[in-house]
Amino acid sequence: MNDKLLGISVVIPTYNGKKTIGKTIGSIINQEYEGEIEVIIVNDYSTDSTLKVVQQYPVKIINNDKNLGLAYSVNKGVKAAKHEIVSVIHEDILLTDKEWFKKSVPYLTEGVAVVSSPVILPSEIYERFGFWEKALFSWDLKEDYENTVEICTDGYNEFKNVIFKKDIFLKFGGLDGDIYRAACEDVDLSMKLFKAGYKMVSVPTSVYHLHSSRAAKLSKILFEYRPRLSEGQGVLFRKYRFRAWEMNNQIFKTFAGIALSIPSNFIRILGAVYIIAIIFGNAVRAFKVMKDPKVFILIPPIKLLDYLLDVIYFWKGFITGRQRK
């Protein structure tokens, strides 16, 4: 890295992030890094006290006149950045390593478009989740990570904690806010970069995900968060045929549902077994973490509804080519 690239502009998009954004900013300005760190907060028309919180810190604030969504907010912040190296950190990401920038920036070499690191969900954060959050998402709790540098081989990267060069980000149009609002826009950009021959590197310096905006109400999980994510995955599948067999098993889920209507007992049984395995498999995974027997009563009917919504909205995204606004 030459001296011109030592400065970093950190973009933090936020919407009603008052619970965690102060911790996020603190972990950034306390970094042990020899270059200048510019912090840019893009306040996406928050209706809580987020603005009052961020005004307490030495940061540049961009206030949206209306709620634009994550993609547009990130793009505004990147365009306003004064440094050639830009980092996007979500409002609920905590840089637990004070040398996170120092360890990550050296990997941003020729041919590397994005540098990120493992995201850890610590058990103390998980314990604050509500029943449905814990049960439906089957969180993979991690207290540690692999101490190795990894190169992405399939184009998948989430922009929760990334570093990249501003010119490359803008060259590819940034995050697509026309198609996506708040899910999968990061993977869309990483796929474009991957297909253009760029590398994405994950370095062994982890961050904590505080999950400030995770919906606690079951209705929000089922009818707001899930549809948006499923539609985004449908769009990705339409555009890239990307991770077709791994996307929450969307393709297999569809085949299993269709199998129930085929006039063959053997095929119908296979479809039913697959669906039952998903529904009760989720309950078993939830029980292993939660140790709450209620999951075997409450989870199956809700997971069946979740299964149906998942498939419906996945194909809605595939057919329409866009995510709900």
The 3-state secondary structure of 30-91 reads: CCCCCCCEEEEEEECCCCCCHHHHHCCCCCEEEECCCCCCHHHHHHHHHHHCCCCEEEEECC
Residue 209: which pLDDT band, with cuts at 50, 70 and 90? confident
- Distance between CA 170 and CA 30 in Å, rounded? 28
- pLDDT of 244 reads 47
Q: Which domain, by its residues, includes 186?
A: 3-209
Note whether 108 and 85 are within 8 A (CB): yes
Q: Are residues 76 and 40 in the same domain?
A: yes
Identify the H or E element spanning 119.
Answer: strand 119-120
Domain end point (choices 165, 188, 209): 209
- Distance between CA 126 and CA 117 in Å, rounded? 20
- pLDDT of 5 reads 47
- pLDDT of 64 reads 97
Span 254-259, average pLDDT: 94
Least confident of 15-19, 70-74, 144-148, 158-162: 144-148
Name the pTM for this structure: 0.89
- pLDDT of 265 reads 95
Dihedral of alpha carbons 143, 146, 150, 155, sign: negative
Count of the separate structural domains present in the chain: 2
Span 55-78, average pLDDT: 96
What CATH number did the domain enclosing 195 receive? 3.90.550.10
The amino acid at 17:
G
Residue 120: which pLDDT band, with cuts at 50, 70 and 90? confident
Identify the H or E element spanning 12.
Answer: strand 8-14
- pLDDT of 3 reads 44
Domain end point (choices 173, 188, 209): 209
Whole-number average pLDDT of the chain: 87
Domain end point (choices 209, 243, 265): 209
- pLDDT of 139 reads 53
Q: Are residues 239 and 265 in the same domain?
A: yes
Q: What is the pLDDT of residues 225-234, one digit of tens each?
A: 889 989 998 9
Q: Which residues contact 244 (CB under 8 A, 6 or more apart)?
A: 237, 250, 251
- pLDDT of 197 reads 93
Q: Residue 44 pLDDT more than 90?
A: yes
- Report in angstroms the alpha-carbon separations of 92 from 16, 88, 109, 114, 271: 11, 12, 28, 20, 39
- Distance between CA 165 and CA 188 in Å, rounded? 17
Phi, psi of 143 (to 5 degrees): -110, -10
Q: Does residue 105 sit within a domain?
A: yes
Between CA 38 and CA 47, with CA 42 as vertex, the angle to 5 degrees is 140
- pLDDT of 2 reads 47
Q: Residue 1 pLDDT more than 60?
A: no
The amino acid at 135:
A
Q: Are residues 27 and 173 in the same domain?
A: yes
Residue 94: which pLDDT band, with cuts at 50, 70 and 90? very high
**Separation of CA 131 from chain center:** 21
Quick check: helix, strand or coil at residue 199? Answer: strand
- pLDDT of 144 reads 54
Span 231-243, average pLDDT: 85
Q: Residue 243 pLDDT more than 90?
A: no
Q: Does residue 40 sit within a domain?
A: yes
Paired tokens of 77: 């912040």
Q: What is the pLDDT of residues 148-197, one digit of tens each?
A: 566 665 566 677 899 999 999 999 999 999 999 888 899 999 999 999 99
